[in-house]
A and B are shown apart, each in its own frame.
Chain A
């Protein structure tokens, strides 16, 4: 095969140019990655990634609708033994009789209100069989019973400016922050029953949150206090590097 210098030269020139462009683009990509990875941490996460999570959250909250429901399952689909993942913030000496929950920041009362389990049980009973989703990736179907958070909020309405709800265990060691729209979703329950039985201690007796529009981390057990706020409340797992919104 005869070599054609002009073709070889031309191809060498194109090769140089192509690989140079590729090299520069690769360096730019790596520099972008290194830049993000080396940014200051904001709750255990580089701030540019936090910002992206906030943008994602903004889109999700814009799209969110209380009329979109988590799919429900037949009662028979519920697992007999629901997995227990965490007990952070839970006290082991709580009994339903003496248990009290504070509701603060409501427009109905300036001072925090103290409620007993019977006060929650007086609200209309509601329930659903839904699939609980752990942020780790597993999911299980469970049958929940209790009162809608929205029904509690009818008695103790959020002030007009409130956008968020904070819930914490009695000792304050576990705490979740929720956007008001998700809290008011018709499937958001203050649950005291699991699989038609009173909630067991390990699942958060006497009262826990069941919020199918969020990952399990937001489904706080042994609720000790609820309060409304205008600003975004602290959240246990968001403080450890997770997405604050954690919405499904």
Chain B
């Protein structure tokens, strides 16, 4: 026996899918800005393992020579990104949806279990509920990262007016550094997220679009 069950609320789906292109736009226009002073790397001392980014990357993606344009688009999309994010957090808090999302004391151990299972190192299937521990940690983290991007961005954008914020973040260069690495964090999140969505399959993906999932009712559905 199968039945159809509501998994993701309409508002949550809208917030998610509106955020996706907005975050993409923030990253893309952010790279137009970053190109003008591309100082970050992975390495130590004189050894650079990877420089963000090699010239061919800029050329291939058209990220070069677009500083003014990048700033103008970035300072337009920032409002939409911030408003959507704030509304999402408010909605999630008020509706009680946060209960599924915020990690609890079991989440961390469960996240390890999920990771081992996903890497094929364990046969213990992760619990079948809306969000497992790994998801709770990942999704909550990415919301906190969004908050981090807003405050580091504000500290860079209006350094003098929000000097206290920049000081709290360790100064202007540190705020810029954090702003950049949070961006790299989204990229990493995105890659894992896509891999997991592909792996979870069509029924799961479809539920993020339609809201509904087909479940086997002989199993306890949560």
A contact residues vs B (CB 8 Å cutoff): 1-2, 4, 7, 10-11, 14-15, 17-19, 22, 25, 29, 44-46, 49-50, 52-53, 56, 60, 63-65, 68-71, 131, 133-139, 212-213, 237, 240-243, 247-248
Contacts and interface: CB of A to CB of B under 8 A. Distances in A.
A225 B33 CA distance: 32
11 contacts: A14-B4, A15-B206, A25-B17, A45-B68, A45-B72, A49-B76, A69-B163, A131-B172, A133-B159, A139-B173, A241-B68
Interface stretch (B55-63, B123-131, B209-217): B209-217
Contact of A71 (B71, B79, B166, B214): B166
A170 B163 CA distance: 35
Given A4-B1, A69-B160, A137-B39, 16 more contacts: A18-B206, A18-B210, A29-B21, A44-B68, A45-B69, A49-B76, A68-B160, A70-B163, A71-B163, A134-B37, A137-B34, A137-B36, A243-B72, A247-B160, A248-B157, A248-B161
Nearest to B78: A56
B167 interface: yes
Nearest to A55: B79
Contact of B210 (A4, A14, A60, A64): A14
Contacts of B206: 15, 18
Interface range for B: 35 or more
B159 A11 contact: no
Contacts of B72: 45-46, 49-50, 52-53, 241, 243
B173 A136 contact: no
A137 B167 contact: no
Chain B CB within 10 A, most for which of A136, A243, A248? A248
